Amino acid sequence: MGTLVVLGLTACATPGAPAPQGSEQNAALPVTAAAASSSAPGRSDSSNALAAASAAAAAIADGSAASLAPGAAAAATHNQKVESSAYVAGQGEGPVLLDPPVMGDDTDLWQRLRDGLALPDLDNALVRKWEAYYSRRPDYVQRMTERGGRYLFHILEEVEKRGMPADLALLPFIESAFNPQAVSHARASGMWQFMPATGRDFELRQNLFRDDRRDVLASTQAALDYLQSLHKQFGDWHLALAAYNWGQGNVQRAMRRNAAAGLPTDYESLRMPAETRNYVPKLQAVKNIVLRPDDFGLALAPLKNHPFFLSLPIVRDIDVALAARLAGIKLEEFQALNPQLNKPVILAAGTPQILLPYDNAHLFAEALAEHRGPLASWTAWVAPRTLTPAAAAELVGLSEARLREINRIPPRMNVRAGSTLLVPRAAHSTQDVTQHIANTAMLALAPQQGQGRRVVLRVGQRGDSVSAIAKRHRLRAVDVALWNKVSTQARFKAGARVVVYKAPVRQATARQRAAKTGSVRAAAPKAKGKTTVSATAKAKVKPAAAAKLRIAQGETPKAR
């Protein structure tokens, strides 16, 4: 296969890196495609993106190289932070090679991965346990490997560039089963399962419009950065993996305890939680299955040693559904490659590139060039002050029910000042969302006055369901689901935190209670030596207690 240079790429050499041997005959041909300004008069959204799309289509279609003029500042900022193999809108030092160095047409991706396995082997009862676990679940392994096929080439490329063991490319199998939408009960998210704070440490943005912990390129870079730093700290890959799962502070303390007791400080000798104790054995079991699938009665989905996806620039805001349609793929497939998107619109200022299947990249570029009309039907609106949903809906020209539905605003909650809401974009509008909003947008809610206080519940060891929690706390299941951003059929795992809002308890006065129950004796003077009880109170007393109460009031008990 000849070498091809395009404007967007994931599995390829880093921008500015030396080209492989034999690439001289495919030297880049300069093609300029500067994106038109969003304020250009008389031009539609699609025509503003025409130049970039045409250059992309030409580059992919004829196998030539495309070097684009610099695009939006947001694209440059994003690419400086994500030094992936994606080359977006000419922000790199030079063109990027699409294909890796030729390794032989008969080499599949699994064999390439096997050739790079280098971690010391672990052989114990826990490894046997997980080998048996996967062997008994061939359908699960099949789904995992098919899903992982989208991402494994890119991850292996990145691992090899850093000179890291290829074993680490298998880590998402045990972290998330290669599901970039996976969320743990502790709120770790994405293919590499980053906790919110750790994600921020590695510059993975988490806001209203995107969560980079789920971004295929950004999260892979962050995970490998983290693993490299842990290996540098501990000097041992097994300890580095334990720290990735448990935290480096915990591993350090466990090592100090062993050292103080005169015990070895290797992975197998440390005292650690069951999850971490099983972590490396699970990885070893997956590694053994990749090496010898037949020994376990399993078959690995065939994977070509070739990029699954390409990266293409986005210079204007565009609806997710429209992008998928222009690429000729189902919405689910688009979301599998671009799982970081939280809303039905892609903001160019915050997400200046999208990933598309290799064979669909040119379709998207050509269809985008031919598209007429608006690209985005959604935009962002910032609340100027704290508002009720009804007031906010009136300001943006929506019904309250529609605004609540679009933005998942729970009942009895106000929208705080400075919050960003997703609203329909006016048909005549050509203004895209600014970079500041795209990178910082958050939705902050506050209980309406007198409507409740925020309570955080901890789920017990057996887990719990939305409906059961709602019933126990006398709430609506739909409210509990909205407050926690889950479905009404969802279950919470043991240890999960669940947020509910409880209405304040008002203490009624004696006069109010009397008026409500219609009791005369509650307000009448008490007779000496006699207890007076309202009709409502009597109704709530158990039969045995009621009999004692009647005797105390001077009544004669009836014979049974």
Report how far residue 157's alpha carbon sits from residue 83's, in angstroms, rounded to the nearest whole number. 13
Cβ atoms of 346 and 432 closer than 8 Å:
no
Q: Are 217 and 310 in contact (CB under 8 A)?
A: no
For the record, the structure tokens of 16 come out as: 């500015």
Q: Where are the alpha helices (DSSP H) in 205-291?
A: 216-234, 237-246, 248-260, 274-291
Say if CB 79 and CB 60 are below 8 A apart.
no
The span from the CA of 558 to the CA of 560, in Å, is 6
What are the φ and ψ backbone dihedral angles of 210, each rounded to 5 degrees?
-155, 155
Calpha distance 559→194 (Å, rounded): 72
Among residues 131, 157, 158, 175, which one is catalytic? 175
Q: Does the annotation count 394 as an active-site position?
A: no
Helices (H) then strands (E): counts for the chain: 24, 14
Note the helical H segments in 183-215.
Answer: 196-201
Count Cβ atoms below 10 Å from residue 142 Cβ, excluding itself. 14
Evaluated on CA atoms 233, 239, 240, 246, the torsion sign reads negative
| Dihedrals phi, psi of 297, to nearest 5 degrees | 65, 30
Q: Could you tell me which residues come within 8 angstroms of residue 29 by beta carbon, excluding any fewer than 6 positions away?
A: 64, 65, 66, 67
Q: d(Cα 419, Cα 446) in Å, to the nearest integer?
A: 11
Q: Which residues pair with 357 in a beta bridge?
A: 309
Can you tell me whether residue 435 is helix, strand or coil?
helix
Residue 6's identity, in one-letter code, is V
For the chain, how long is the longest CA-to-CA vector?
112
Measure Cα distances from 282 to 171, 172, 273 in Å: 9, 11, 14
- What string of H, E and C letters represents the secondary structure of 321-373? HHHHHHHCCCHHHHHHHCCCECCCEECCCCCCEEEEEHHHHHHHHHHHHHCCC
The b/e string for 498-536 (b: 16+ C-beta within 10 A; e otherwise) is bebbeeeeeeeeeeeebeeeebeebeeeeeeeeeebbee
Q: To 10 degrees, the CA torsion angle through 406, 410, 412, 417? A: -60
Nearest-CA neighbor of 364 among 38, 26, 46?
A: 46
Check: CB of residue 379 under 8 Å from CB of residue 429.
yes
Element (H, E) at 471: helix 466-472
Catalytic residue numbers? 175
